[in-house]
Amino acid sequence: MKLKSLALAASIVAAVAGSVAAPAAFAQAKEQFFPVLVYRTGAYAPNGVPFANGYVDYLKLVNAKGGINGVKISYEECETGYATDRGVECYERMKSKGATVFQPLSTGITFALTEKAPGDKIPLITSGYGRADSVDGTAFKWNFPLLGTYWTGASVLVQHVKKANGGSLKGKKIALVYHDSPYGKEPIPLLEELAKQEGFTLQLLPVAAPGIEQKATWLQVRQSRPDHVFLWGWGVMNSAALKEAVATGYPREKMYGVWWSGAEPDVKDVGAGAKGYQALTMQDAADGNSKIIKDMLSMVHDKGQGTGDKDEVGQVLYMRGLVASMLAVEGVKRAQERFGKGKVMTGEQVRWGFENLALDQKKLDAGGFAGVMRPVSTSCADHMGASWSRIRTWDGAKWSVTSDWYQADDSVIKPLVKASAEKYMGDKKMTRRAPDDCQS
């Protein structure tokens, strides 16, 4: 596997992509090492590639600006193919190289690594996926579902369709067409609770991976005639679902996807046929006027150092990867404020940084994220930091943000988080963190 090092002076950024890193010992001593779990091959590659490109490009951009308070970044990609066993193998291979943080980009891999991270003292960022109960930092010390979970996403979708139905969902039917995996099953407890509270019927329609064959599923949709369909898909499953909706005549404007079901690869093959389809967006929206995009183009892509095509800069999954990378870097930067600016941080020190993030709007704007994100502030009890999201709509040719910000309803989510975290701790014979541990 090729180790790509970014630890070169900003003045010679053009040489970055082709360079070969020093041995791991040097990387640990001189560079901040970021393992990058990717899936550039397999059934989910069309979605995994732009995310990975955005992630890596941001690391390059940070180095082009001088590093993290002068500390240069190195990284290594490891191909998981979205498979849990391969993700665990990547983790085991790279954890001893001075790993800063792992971002599994898979709920299945997240579940597996949640058992390993505490012993290895390496934090996990699972922004917009993973375990919804890991918001509770007093139970999950090493997990950070920054910006949102599938429970916050489901909450916002229900709020949105409730608003579209005049403020009431009583007597309505919502069908959840979901990837039959830990990812797709994760929102079900929250949706079941909301169905009781709001008076709607929830129809569960699992789709076997990778999701190409959905005719039987959409036959059920046609027969049951739900008022809305929530799509919890990934990769080819999303475009297959939209094509089946077209074939069965289900209105696309009544379909709503989670944030992993609302990107360019999901709709490009359907084109005008997907017009009206809506999907969640996390804090990752951007347009060509965003400073972060202008910086990326001028300091990375215009110098021939872009990881992928220049045209994808600013697209949905590219921005999702870029924001995920930014969060990782900001955790290191925050840790340096306590443990020493200009120093390489350990995984344990970076964990403290993630637990004490204080990204106010001023800091976000200074980093080029004005209009892209809202403030993020974490604590020992709250490892998510923010639960805002908006709705995107496909107009047949492009995605546009078409709603104001929604915030997830904590009054429903917090009791579920507490109950699930308590069960997890009971099963693992764990106790909650003591107050003094929250300061360490």
β-partners of residue 407 are: 388
Cβ atoms of 143 and 373 within 8 Å: the answer is no
336 by DSSP, 3-state: which? helix
* Cα first-last separation, the chain: 36
Cβ atoms of 332 and 253 within 8 Å: the answer is no
Residue 338 pLDDT greater than 50, yes or no: yes
Residue 5 pLDDT greater than 70, yes or no: no
Res. 10 pLDDT band, cuts 50 70 90: very low
Cβ atoms of 278 and 257 within 8 Å: the answer is yes
Average pLDDT over residues 30-53: 95
Instruction: Encode pLDDT of 108-157 as tens digits.
Output: 999 999 999 999 999 999 999 999 999 999 999 999 999 999 999 999 99
Q: Six-digit token pair at 375? A: 């403030």
Residue 81 pLDDT greater than 60, yes or no: yes
pLDDT of residue 439: 78
CA 301 – CA 108 distance, rounded (Å): 33
pLDDT of residue 284: 83
Report the alpha-carbon angle 143-107-379, nearest 5: 20
pLDDT of residue 171: 98
Taking the whole predicted model, whether its pTM rises above 0.75 is answered as yes
Res. 352 pLDDT band, cuts 50 70 90: very high
Residue 13 pLDDT greater than 50, yes or no: no
Average pLDDT over residues 387-401: 95
pLDDT of residue 285: 76
Name the percent of the chain in helix, strand, coil, to the closest 5. 45, 15, 40
Strand ranges for 301-404 from DSSP E: 358-359, 376-377, 388-394, 399-401
Residue with token string 């924001």 = 323
216 by DSSP, 3-state: which? helix
Average pLDDT over residues 214-228: 97
Residue 23 pLDDT greater than 80, yes or no: no
Average pLDDT over residues 243-271: 96
Cβ atoms of 392 and 275 within 8 Å: the answer is no
CA 101 – CA 424 distance, rounded (Å): 23
Residue 72 pLDDT greater than 70, yes or no: yes
Q: Which pairing describes strands 358-359 and 376-377: parallel, antiparallel, or unpaired?
A: antiparallel
Average pLDDT over residues 39-51: 94
pLDDT of residue 15: 37
Average pLDDT over residues 215-236: 97
Residue 174 pLDDT greater than 60, yes or no: yes
Burial 245-256 (b: 16+ CB within 10 A, else e): beeeebebebbb
pLDDT of residue 440: 67
Q: If you average pLDDT over every residue of the chain, what do you get?
A: 92
pLDDT of residue 276: 98
Residue 184 pLDDT greater than 70, yes or no: yes
CA distances from 338 to 9, 335, 359, 380, 385 (A): 26, 5, 16, 16, 20
Number of H helices, E strands in the chain: 16, 15
